[in-house]
Each structure stands twice: as C-alpha cells, then as structure tokens.
Amino acid sequence: MKTLIIYTSQTGFTKRYAEWLAERMSGDLLDLKNAQKKSADYFKDYDAICYGGWAMAGNIVKCKWFLEKAVNWKNKRLAMFCVGGSPNDNPDVEIFLQNALTDEQKKYIRVFYCQGGFNYEKVV
Ligand SMILES: Cc1cc2nc3c(=O)[nH]c(=O)nc-3n(C[C@H](O)[C@H](O)[C@H](O)COP(=O)(O)O)c2cc1C
C-alpha cells in the first residue's frame, strides 16, 4: 500500500509521530508546506493518505487543507491524527475527536489522538 503522511508541527511532537508512522508504513513523509506545493497529480498514486496536526484550542491545526482535499480522495484510505498536550485518558479527548469531523467526513476519514507534550522553549 503506497502511503503518504503529511504533518504540521510547531515544536516537534507531531513531526515525530509522523516520522514513526511513515517508517512503520514504509510511506512517504511531507511537511504540509511542501504538500501544498504539489499538484493534484502527485497524490494520485497513493492508496492511503494521513494528515497529522497539533491540537490548538480544541482544533487540529491546518486540517482544513486536508479536509478539503479529502473530498476528492474518497477512493483512498484516509486518516487524521492530532497531537496534543492532554493525556490520552483525558475525557476531553473523546469530545475533541467527536467534533473533529462532520458526520459526512466520518464516513471516509478516521481520526485518532496521540499524546504529545509541551515544549515551552519552542513555542513562539
Ligand atoms: C496556543 C496553544 C493551544 C493549545 N491548545 C491545546 C488543546 O486545545 N488541547 C491540547 O491537548 N493541547 C493543546 N496545546 C498543546 C499542543 O497541542 C502540544 O504542545 C503539542 O504537543 C504540540 O505539537 P507540536 O510539537 O507538533 O507542535 C496547545 C498549545 C498551544 C501553544
């Protein structure tokens, strides 16, 4: 399965998860900034595309780009992951995941939470 992992990361936690996923899936890895430079053709051959963004005030950073593209990628396996400072067992995480996608988007995208952390030195 040809897999692509796209991510946005401010302090490195989401990048690390994206690297682990790409390694595990023998997939390709792209920073969102580079993904945005690619033409539609670039994504055509991927069987699975996953987007990872960090949690900011209850939202997945820059997921709008992925969600807009995903409408045309329904023939692929699609997933999204969010990396936040909250522990995995924080009850807010479940609510967060429920609200991340519309009912329609839930039909073709799966969403996951991964615990990151806080790196205050790198937050600008
Ligand atoms: C402005 C701001 C808002 C944040 N909001 C949330 C949040 O709503 N939920 C959460 O779990 N973590 C939140 N965090 C924590 C980050 O998601 C966390 O530090 C994450 O690991 C950062 O990922 P990165 O290293 O890939 O940038 C917030 C951090 C910042 C700076």
Ranges of each domain in the chain: 3-115
The CATH code for residues 3-115 is 3.40.50.360
10-26: pLDDT as tens digits: 999 999 999 999 999 99
For residues 119 and 63, what is the distance between their CA atoms, to the nearest angstrom? 22
Say what the pLDDT of residue 123 is.
73
Say what the pLDDT of residue 38 is.
97
* Atom 5 of ligand 1, residue of closest alpha carbon: 56
45: CA distance to ligand 1 center in Å?
32
56-72: pLDDT as tens digits: 999 999 999 999 999 99
Pocket lining for ligand 1, CB < 6 angstroms: 9-15, 54-58, 83-86, 116-118, 123
Nearest to 52 by CA among 114, 97, 95, 106: 114
Q: Is the pLDDT of residue 124 over 70?
A: no
